[in-house]
Structures are given as structure tokens and as C-alpha cells.
Structure 1
Amino acid sequence: MSDATRATHGVDFGRRELRVETPRLAWAIPHRSLIVSGALAIVVLVFGVASMSIGSYDVSFADVVRALVDPNVDPDSRQVVFEWRFPRVLFAVLCGAALALSGGIFQSLTRNPLGSPDIIGFGVGAQFGVTLVMVVLGLNTYMFKAAGALVGGLVTALIVYVLAMKRTVSSFRLIIVGIGVSAGLGSLTSWILISVSVEKAMMAATWGAGSIASLGFDQLIPAALVFAVVAVAALPLNRTLPVLEMGDDAATALGVHPGRTRFLAMVLGVALVALVTAAAGPISFIALAAPQISQRLTRTNTPMGMAPLMLTGAALVVVSDAAAQLLFVPVGVVTVSIGGVYLAWLLATQYARRA
């Protein structure tokens, strides 16, 4: 039967895949995932270069490219592009990839598109931990903020899971409890800010808007190293979490340990949120939107597809940061605005399916 005849009869013979085999490893990559990943990489590249041409010092698109590839270009242009603006774009890519991967992990764990760290409170817990470290303890270095974000996120995750536990952890109960814990931590953060000096409150409020404008290579290098370690540790989740989505019994029968997998996934997901929160502040809704957008683009039945997932998050943050520069606002303001519209649409579609 020809391809045209198959298409006419509407028979699905599976997705085309690129198979890679070695003596020890073999894996298959769907063609659609490769195409989507390539398109997203082009979006990141084009908008990244375009964003480096925006600013008080006027640099054309072509001059940006020359400044990146030619060390002998005009020194002023190279300093502006390579030393000041290039780290910002790399941070946008890093933050987007980390948040998207974290969102994919938690949405796969909860088997719910609302199960992102923004909704279930882990991001707010990380923000609360950094606020304590910055405002109460007066420690404003990246390592202390990273430690505060990680501890705050993990403690919040533990509280949410304990409160949501009733024999088993229901995804709906987890989301509801997470929303309540998130609201409580948000109130505590506000109480801390109104209880300290105006200078400290303004410092924390500026950081809380979510901005990558003042970040450079000094902050990028340690953040990239941490992200690389966490991303490598998360690679097995690309295989085990989709299996876990079928249920604990099926996962156990297929050789996946549910408890151990959930614990590892939770720690790595919180670590990714903490990494971004410590460096740039809370950049909301990327973890919520990126997994769902990636899943629809690749037409898969799971939010865990690491390459297109992370590229989707990177594209969202890079485009949002370009818009933020044109509007003279922090990138977190743009992502909140876009994410609020997306959340309303997601809730409406969820309600329509149940009606």
C-alpha cells in the first residue's frame, strides 16, 4: 500500500524516527522532535542576536554578529555586545532551559498541566528562602542565595507533600495544597519586607521582579556548571518519568522504582528552580507554559522530552527578554503578563474538558 493510500484511509503507522545504535547504547529520536528543536534553536539565535542590538548604545544586527565572531572589530562595539549583552542572552537561555525542565519534571510527576513549581508553591518557597538570606541575614552573594533558594524550595516541597499525603499523593490534592502553601509563604515574604528598612525592602523588591539585566560572566559560569550537573543527573528521568505516568504498578513491573524516582525528580526539579531564583529572581510561568507548548509542538503524550522542552523554555525567555528591553521592564514582568493569559486559557480548557 502506498503512502498516499495509507493517508487516504487515515491509518497511523507510527512516527518516523532517527535510530542511533552503538555496541552498548541504542536510541531513537523522532523526526518531528528534531525539526522542532532546530526551529526553536533558530528562534533563540535570531531573537538573541536581535536583543543584543537593543539598548542605549546603538548596534545594528550585522554589527552584533561581527562583534561576536571577529575579535578585531571596533573595541567599543565588542565590549558592549560581548561583555555586557552576550551574558544576558546566555542567562536567558540558561534560565529558560532550567525552568522548562523543572516544569516538565513536576508536570510529569503530578500528571497534570497545572503541576508546575509556580502553582504548587516550590518557586515561592525558593523565593522565600532567598528573601530570608538577603533581608534577614544580610547575605547577598550568589552562593548564599542559591543555598537559601534550595533549602526554601526543598522544605516547601516537603511540607506540600506531607500535607497532601493521604495514603497516596493525589495530583489534584497536591496542587490545591501547593496553592495554599504558596499563598501563606507569599504573605510571610510581604510581612518580612514591610518589617525591614526601606533600603533592604527595595533591594529585595527589585530582585523579586525577576531580572537578568545586571548579570555577567561572573554569575553565569557557576550557574552554568550547576545546571550542567543537574541536567546530566536528570537524563534518566527522560525515560523513567513517562513510565511512572502509567501508574506505580506498571512502573514497578517495568523496573522503575516509584519512590526513589519521585524523590530524585523532586530534588532535581527544586534545584533547577533554586538555580534560576538565586541568580535572576523569580521568573514566573515559564515552568508552567513551556512543557505544554513543547508537548503540543512535538505531539507527544508526555511533557518530558528534554531537548525540545529546554529549547522551548529558552526561546520563551529570550523572546520575553527582548520584549522587556523594548518596554524598559524586567523580564519577570513580561513572563507574568504572558503567563497569566496562558494560565487563564489552560484553566478554561481544563474546565471545558470536564464539563
Structure 2
Amino acid sequence: MTRPHPHPSVAMPRNEASRATSEVVYRRRRRTALSLVIVAAVGVTTLVLAVSVGSYAIPLDRFWQVLTGQGTGFDHAVVLEWRMPRGVTALAVGACLGLSGALLQTVTRNPLASPDLIGISGGAYTAVLILLVYVGSQWELVAPAALIGALIVAAVLFSVSGGRSTQSGSRFLLAGVALAALLGGINSWIILSASLESAMTAATWGAGSLAASTWQTVFLSTAALAVGSVLSSLAVRRIKVHTLGDDLATSLGSAPRTLRIQLIVISVMLAAIATALCGPIGLLPLVAPPIARALVRTSEAPLALSTLVAAVLLAMADLLAQHALPGGPPAGLVTTVLGGIYLMFVLLRR
């Protein structure tokens, strides 16, 4: 007995739908790859400008001589000891914050989720303030203190939100905004009650400055970025399932609550280390993922592109603060102002 062949009128639409889906996926991947190349090229250009431009200008030929070990001693000091660590730190810290924001927005399914808006950066700031004001300027303990403070805030937020239903993302965000306001008041009180020297140190650090960057900050920030990137890449497939909803993800064998905890821990770790190294960098994790989504034209936050976009934005903000704005304000203030303008633009557009 022969099996009947499917009718052409039934087979053709399926084939056409399959081809259309493949075409959409191909176009999205092509846009993603092109965006990654363009943003990376902008980042490299920004780094070269950060090293070359200044009161003591270094042309490209002398910059290349320094990289190949043929430059003068003073050029070597300017490039490799002063400017290069700051430029690379800006890229690495910005990348950490971009990945942190993309992971947090994926977990909460809310484009307004950001470590600085929901209190994670504020918790890290509070822990560092307590260390600097009440314990002393023990800078080797700043990173552990910031991580502990951020993890405590994340634990409180996750316990409040429950992390189970589809409403948990909104509850997580609202609880974070309330906790960020509370921590902001606590931080102001700590600074006002501190001695003048401690208050000045804490206020300078809290502005989000990259001026004290060294090769040690480069190592710590790139190490944190590498660990976060590896852990995120291992969870990429489960992240895609997570975006389909908790019920469907559970039916496919995934554990949404466990994945949510893992992603929040990764996001908190990245934001805490970035805050510990340079102070709070305002609104950068908020604006980078939407820009990446706009470049790729997708509803999901692309992790790699969000990471690169944030890195370039912080490097450009620091370059702008150094050479285009009067007084040379910290990069954190620049990102806060530009991020606020962007947020107002989005709200008015909607």
C-alpha cells in the first residue's frame, strides 16, 4: 500500500513559511554581525583618540612607536602609564555594566531595569561608604565590600519579588526603585555625618571617575568581564527559552527560577565590581541594551552587542569629559546627564 503524497497546496505554504523564517534569521544575524564590527571599530577609534589627544598630543606614528617599544621615555609614560590604562578601563567597565544591564532586563522582561535604578549599584556604594567612613581608607577591601553590598540588595529584591510568576519582573523593578531611594538617603546621611576628609574621598569616588585607573583596574575589570561573559554564554540557550515565558520554559525542561537567580548573580557581580573600581556610573546599563536592540531590530536585548555599546559609550563619555567639557567632570556625571536626556526622549516619544 502506497502512502499518499501531501497535496501541493498544503506543502507550499509550509515551505514558504520556512524560507521566510530563515530569511528573517539570516538578516538578523547579518545586522548583528555588522553592528558588532561597526561598534568595535568605533571603540578602537575612541581608545586611540583617548591616548593621542590631550595637552601633550601624541601623533599616530609616535603612538605606534610606543607600542612597538621604540618611543621616547616620556611618550612611553604618557601612553602606557597614564592614558592607556584609563582608556582600557573605560571600555572594560562599560562592557561590564552593559552586560549587567542586558542580563537584568532579560530577567525582568522590562527595558527600564538597570543596576543603578533598582538599588544594586546603590547597595555597593553604601557598603563602600561604610568601609571608607567608619573603617578607614582600606582600598584593597573596596571590591569585596561592594560585592557584598550589591548581593545583599539583590537578595532582598529577589525575596520581595518572589521570582516565580510573570508579574515578578514588575515587582522586582518597583521594589528596586523603592530600595534605591532608601539607599540614596542612607548614603547622603553617611557622607554628611563623616569627617571632611572622608566625605571628600567618598564624594569623589561616588561621582564615577576614571581618573585613578591603573593597570590593576584594567586587570580586575577585564577579569570580571571575562568571567561574566563565559557564564552568560553558557546560559544563552536557556535565556532564549526563558524569554518564552515561565510556563513554556518549564514544559521544555528548563528551571526559570534557578536561571533567574543565576543571571541576577552574574549581573550583580558585574555591576558591583564596576562600581568598586570607578564608583557609580549612572544610567549606562539602562541605555545600552535599548540602543543594541534598535541596531539589530529585535525585541530581545542582544548580550554581546549591549556589552560593546556600553563600552563605547563610557569611553566616549570619558573622552568628552576630559577634553570637551569645562572643569573635566567625572565620566559618571556625563553618563547620568546623557542617560537622563535619553530617558526623557523615550518617555516623550511613547
TM-score, normalization: structure 1?
A: 0.87
Preserved contact between residue 293 and residue 300 of structure 2 (Cα < 8 Å): yes
Q: Distance in 1 between matches of 2:228 and 2:22?
A: 36
Listed one character per residue, the Cα deviations across residues 85-138 of structure 1 (whole Å, up to 9, x for unaligned) are 111111011111100000001101111110111221111111111111222221
Return the letter of the residue paired with 1:34.
Answer: A
Picking from 138, 145, 150, the partner of 2:147 is 150
Q: Distance in 1 between matches of 2:220 and 2:173?
A: 32
Deviation at 1:51, TM superposition (A): 1.4
In the other structure, the counterpart of 2:334 is 334
Q: Structure 2: give runs of 5+ residues left out of the alignment.
A: 1-19
In the other structure, the counterpart of 1:35 is 34
Q: Distance in 2 between matches of 1:166 and 1:223?
A: 29
Preserved contact between residue 50 and residue 61 of structure 1 (Cα < 8 Å): no
Q: Distance in 1 between matches of 2:144 and 2:157?
A: 20
Picking from 101, 107, 110, the partner of 2:108 is 110
Q: Distance in 2 between matches of 1:135 and 1:188?
A: 13
Listed one character per residue, the Cα deviations across residues 7-52 of structure 1 (whole Å, up to 9, x for unaligned) are xxxx77633649xxxxxxxxxx812111100000110011111111
Asked if 1:14 corresponds to 2:23, the answer is yes
In the other structure, the counterpart of 1:308 is 305
Residues 166/109 of structure 1: CA separation in 2 closer, same or farther (3 Å cut): closer
Q: Distance in 1 between matches of 2:177 and 2:25?
A: 41
Listed one character per residue, the Cα deviations across residues 278-310 of structure 1 (whole Å, up to 9, x for unaligned) are 10001111100001101110122211x232121
Q: Distance in 1 between matches of 2:265 and 2:159?
A: 15
In the other structure, the counterpart of 2:73 is 75
In the other structure, the counterpart of 2:59 is 60
In the other structure, the counterpart of 2:17 is none
Residues 195/294 of structure 1: CA separation in 2 closer, same or farther (3 Å cut): same
Residues 269/250 of structure 1: CA separation in 2 closer, same or farther (3 Å cut): same
Deviation at 1:166, TM superposition (A): 9.0
Q: Distance in 1 between matches of 2:164 and 2:63?
A: 57
Q: Distance in 1 between matches of 2:341 and 2:280?
A: 18
* Paired residues, number: 327
Asked if 1:319 corresponds to 2:328, the answer is no
Q: How does 1:270-281 map to 2 (within 5 A)?
A: 270-281=268-279
Preserved contact between residue 86 and residue 213 of structure 2 (Cα < 8 Å): yes
Q: How does 1:48-197 map to 2 (within 5 A)?
A: 48-68=47-67, 70-142=68-140, 144-165=141-162, 168=165, 169-197=167-195
Deviation at 1:196, TM superposition (A): 1.1
Q: Distance in 1 between matches of 2:228 and 2:41?
A: 25
SS state of the match for residue 249, structure 1? helix
SS state of the match for residue 337, structure 1? helix
Preserved contact between residue 97 and residue 274 of structure 2 (Cα < 8 Å): yes
Deviation at 1:139, TM superposition (A): 4.3
Give the CA RMSD over aligned residues.
2.0
In the other structure, the counterpart of 1:199 is 197
Return the letter of the residue paired with 1:136.
Answer: Y
Residues 78/167 of structure 1: CA separation in 2 closer, same or farther (3 Å cut): closer
Return the letter of the residue paired with 1:274.
Answer: A
Q: Distance in 2 between matches of 1:245 and 1:129?
A: 33
Q: Distance in 2 between matches of 1:134 and 1:231?
A: 30
Return the letter of the residue paired with 1:90.
Answer: V
Residues 170/345 of structure 1: CA separation in 2 closer, same or farther (3 Å cut): farther
Q: Structure 1 stretches (4+) deviating beyond 4 angstroms? A: none
In the other structure, the counterpart of 2:344 is 344
SS state of the match for residue 290, structure 2? helix
Return the letter of the residue paired with 1:55.
Answer: G
SS state of the match for residue 235, structure 1? helix
Q: Distance in 2 between matches of 1:32 and 1:93?
A: 22
Return the letter of the residue paired with 1:147.
Answer: P
Larger C-alpha radius of gyration, 1 or 2?
2
Q: Give % identity.
A: 35
In the other structure, the counterpart of 1:296 is 294
Listed one character per residue, the Cα deviations across residues 186-205 of structure 1 (whole Å, up to 9, x for unaligned) are 10011111111000000000
Listed one character per residue, the Cα deviations across residues 45-64 of structure 1 (whole Å, up to 9, x for unaligned) are 11111111233323234433
Q: Distance in 2 between matches of 1:294 and 1:121?
A: 23
Q: Distance in 1 between matches of 2:164 and 2:259?
A: 18
Q: Distance in 2 between matches of 1:311 and 1:71?
A: 29
- When structure 1 is superposed on structure 2, of 332-341 and 247-256 the one drifting more is 247-256
Q: Structure 1: give runs of 5+ residues left out of the alignment.
A: 1-10, 19-28
In the other structure, the counterpart of 2:257 is 259
Return the letter of the residue paired with 2:42.
Answer: V
Residues 166/33 of structure 1: CA separation in 2 closer, same or farther (3 Å cut): closer
In the other structure, the counterpart of 1:287 is 285
